Structure 1
């Protein structure tokens, strides 16, 4: 099973989209001290959205969709709904 996830940094108004087959470790790695990677600059991260897929190729396809302009619009809509 694969999880596509959207993280949000409230402090920096940044979005991160990724996928994993080990969500617990992956989410932990985004917020724990580390020395490399884009996400270390914008901590702390909160989980905004997740979707579950049975196979890696479907998860990768959805990740690409969420990283597109339409996907970013969907994510911004989620943020607007969350703040109401």
Structure 2
């Protein structure tokens, strides 16, 4: 699924062994798509010598907490549409 700027998404809360770029502090949290980046090879599989295909779209997701907003770049396979 391709997400659009402004869309609310939830980060998967699944456990993950080994290398991955999704910080634990955003797993299970809801944020908003702030920017849509290009698709890149998957670093979670490239770290283990695989080709990283198929490519995954990368998104900047904003998470609000009080007066603060944190932006985290998250690959598409970690995101689900928030209800």
Identify the TM-score tier after normalising by the shorter chain: under 0.3
Superposition TM-score, scaled by structure 1 size: 0.27
Q: So what's the TM-score if we normalise by structure 2? A: 0.27
Normalized per residue, the structure richer in helix is 1
